[in-house]
């Protein structure tokens, strides 16, 4: 936490609060913009023999962003949530990057930022609109990843190229591409096996508000224990479609993964990690394949009253073994109310069918208040 605060403080001291000029013409620094958001929630789950309910401070984020020499955009963002004892929930930097944006069709980004995989992963948690990111995105994009990687908010450290081109008659770009090289270990840690992840995507935008895309991910995730190292391959792809206009959102994505995972989630970045490979069993105790997983979701967020009230629904499926043996399905409905652009209340009811449990069905309710600043 002290490192995060020190970084933000140094940025504030080094960047002038007014626009600096070089030779009276070219701006060196633009005025930095400070912002962030906070999310607090209440959750109740109703299971046979396992009811629970709790208030939770989901997360607080603070960020600073701006430009240097006009063409270089930078962003630093920190997050606080949960306890402070391990990689999964301690205060940490989530974004720390700079991007050269002089050319619309060829931009270069370097640092720590969102992996270019799926449409949903890059979305702000508030704008995403539901209690959490979908199961396949959470498990296969680096949130609570099936590989055993520590919680990384869908991010990694690396270098990325991206751009938009092929304008139509009205000047709107029809094609977007993005490809990056990453450590493959998640946020705030160094590479372990010296191999790199290659992640990329391409999509077309045939009409305003619509995107149809495909993504690929080739890489690995590694751990060490003493002199022993285990590296697990990751081969993933995603197919995505979205239509978004004003407050209306329609989106569907399918993600498939090949590659095993570790039995435990990484807690501390050291040389004494658990190297046990995760196994899966059916309800009869028989071991099933552990190297494939997939998932699919489809959602709609529809304005009901002006720009205030939205109705939403999501069908969300994740299969840890790419089979129906332990498939988990969430059926979700809810309402979001936007008091103003800085304050939003989100409510949701979820019916879950989890085939890995003896009693498959249970339900949950969520209420979440989000503040932007």
Mean pLDDT of the 155-171 span: 96
Condensed to tens digits (0 to 9), the pLDDT of residues 60-105 reads: 999 999 999 999 999 999 998 765 556 766 688 999 999 999 999 9
- The whole-number pLDDT of residue 30 equals 84
Q: Which CATH class is domain 2-372?
A: mainly beta
- What distances in angstroms separate CA 356 from CA 60, 65, 310, one per listed residue? 33, 44, 33
- The whole-number pLDDT of residue 158 equals 98
- The whole-number pLDDT of residue 25 equals 61
Number of H helices, E strands in the chain: 3, 20
Residues in the chain: 373
Condensed to tens digits (0 to 9), the pLDDT of residues 171-202 reads: 999 999 999 999 999 999 999 998 999 999 99
- Strands of the chain (E only): list them: 21-22, 26-27, 33-46, 52-68, 72-80, 92-103, 106-114, 155-167, 173-182, 197-204, 210-225, 228-245, 248-258, 280-281, 287-288, 292-305, 309-319, 328-340, 343-354, 361-372
The residue extents of the domains of the chain are 2-372
How confident is residue 208, by pLDDT bands cut at 50, 70 and 90? very high
Beta-bridged to residue 142, according to DSSP, are none
Condensed to tens digits (0 to 9), the pLDDT of residues 32-65 reads: 999 999 999 999 999 987 899 999 888 899 999 9
Separation between Cα atoms, residue 322 and residue 324, nearest integer Å: 7
């Amino acid at each position: 936490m002290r490192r995060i605060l020190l970084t933000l403080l140094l940025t504030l001291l080094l960047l002038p609060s007014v626009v600096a000029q070089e030779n009276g013409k070219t701006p060196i620094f633009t005025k930095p913009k400070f912002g962030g958001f906070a999310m607090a929630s209440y959750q109740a789950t109703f299971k046979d023999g396992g009811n629970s309910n709790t208030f939770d401070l989901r997360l607080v984020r603070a960020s600073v962003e701006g430009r240097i020499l006009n063409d270089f955009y930078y962003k630093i963002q920190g997050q606080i949530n949960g306890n402070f004892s391990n990689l999964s929930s301690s205060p940490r930097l989530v974004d720390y990057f700079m991007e050269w944006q002089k050319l619309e069709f060829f931009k270069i980004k370097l640092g720590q930022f969102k992996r270019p995989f799926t449409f949903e992963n890059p979305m702000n948690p508030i704008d995403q609109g539901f209690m959490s990111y979908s199961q396949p995105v959470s498990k296969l994009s680096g949130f609570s990843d099936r590989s055993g990687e520590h919680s990384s908010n869908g991010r990694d450290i690396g270098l990325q190229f991206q751009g938009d081109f092929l304008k139509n008659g009205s000047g709107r770009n029809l094609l977007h591409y993005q490809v990056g090289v990453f450590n493959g270990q998640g946020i705030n840690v160094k590479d372990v096996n010296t191999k790199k992840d290659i992640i990329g995507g391409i999509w077309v935008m045939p009409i305003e508000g619509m995107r149809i895309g495909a993504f690929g991910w080739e890489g690995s995730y590694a751990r060490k224990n003493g002199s022993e190292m285990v590296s697990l391959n990751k081969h993933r792809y995603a197919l995505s479609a979205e239509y978004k206009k004003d407050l209306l959102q329609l989106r569907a994505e399918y993600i498939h993964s090949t590659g095993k995972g570790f039995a435990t989630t990484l807690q501390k970045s050291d040389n004494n990690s658990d190297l046990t490979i995760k196994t899966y069993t059916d309800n009869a105790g028989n071991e099933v394949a552990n190297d494939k997983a997939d998932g699919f979701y489809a959602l709609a967020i529809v304005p009901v009253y002006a720009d205030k009230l939205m109705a939403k629904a999501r069908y969300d499926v994740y299969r840890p073994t790419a089979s129906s043996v332990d498939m988990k399905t969430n059926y979700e409905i809810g309402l979001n109310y936007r008091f103003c652009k800085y304050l939003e209340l989100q409510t949701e009811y979820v019916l879950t069918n989890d085939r890995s449990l003896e009693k498959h069905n249970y339900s949950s309710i969520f209420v979440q208040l989000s503040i932007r600043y």
